[in-house]
Amino acid sequence: MKKFKKIYVEITNICNLSCHFCPKSKRKLEYMKLDSFGKILREIKPFTDYIYLHVKGEPLLHPQLEEFLDLAYVYGFKVNITTNGSFIKGTGDKLLTKPALRQINFSLHSFGENPENIHKNNYLRDILFFSKKTLEKTDIIISLRLWNFNKKIKDETQKGNNEILQILEKEFKLDYKISDILNPGRGVKISDKLYLNSDYQFKWPDKDDIYEDATGFCYGMRTHTAILVDGTVVPCCLDGEGSINLGNIFNDSFNNIINSNRSKAIYSGFSEKTAVEKLCKKCQFKI
């Protein structure tokens, strides 16, 4: 069994939307080059079979996404894509031809954040049309995400979510109300290869945040790690600014980076349920 269950690879940190729950990247905005992606794939191949095109940015914006997926297939990777879905109408048919693609996660909570950029009915229509077509013609898994539940403010968020749930019930001819069985933090299987996942909003950790707690556990450096668009290796996909820079995969081997003293300290610390890095102490996503 390989060391990591998955590795996140950020092929761009550019996004077309401005969601309050996902701060814009403060790093240089760029698209990863194809040869850089190939370098990453060669380095991480001994350590995982699954890559997730996600940290910051919108992967469907990348002009060479098709070539990236083809290259991932050559190296034997299974690919998961997380997208806001706003470009699926133009890119969907191309994605369906890519054998490396294992799963697509649609962040449905994005549309409510950007009313000026997304028309709700068209947005959902395009995603559901693509999802149905995908389920009929491929083995690709579809995950529809509503990660916007709020423990304190429920009414307005729930109203918007209920509209989406009602549309899903109608489109997939469900004989039950999803809201009756939906619990944030747990998924609902709507049909074969189609899932609805809900959760509470989470706050991206910020090293300058007032909140701090050194206790807790994280799977970073244990089941996963992440590589940013410039090659910076970080412990997990929530280090969206590269605060915990473990090294650069374009300058050093991935093996050396994940076996460095700093990487091992993160792993050992969480084994004792202790966060050793400042950003990890600020993270409220620890368990």
Task: Please tell me the predicted confidence (pLDDT) of residue 52.
Answer: 98
- Distances in Å between the Cα of 17 and the Cα atoms of 36, 88, 109, 206, 237 are 26, 14, 12, 21, 19
Task: Please tell me the predicted confidence (pLDDT) of residue 117.
Answer: 52
Question: How are beta strands 224-227 and 50-53 bridged, if at all?
Answer: unpaired
- Averages of pLDDT over each 10 residues, the chain, 287 residues: 96 86 85 98 98 96 97 98 92 94 88 54 88 95 85 58 85 90 85 90 82 95 98 96 97 98 98 96 92
Residue 244 buriedness (CB in 10 A; 0-12 / 13-18 / 19+): buried
Domain boundaries, the chain: 6-200
Question: Angle, nearest 10°, between helix axes 88-95 and 65-74?
Answer: 30
State how far the Cα of 145 lies from the Cα of 153, in Å rounded to an integer: 19
Q: Span 6-200: which CATH code?
A: 3.20.20.70
pTM: 0.92
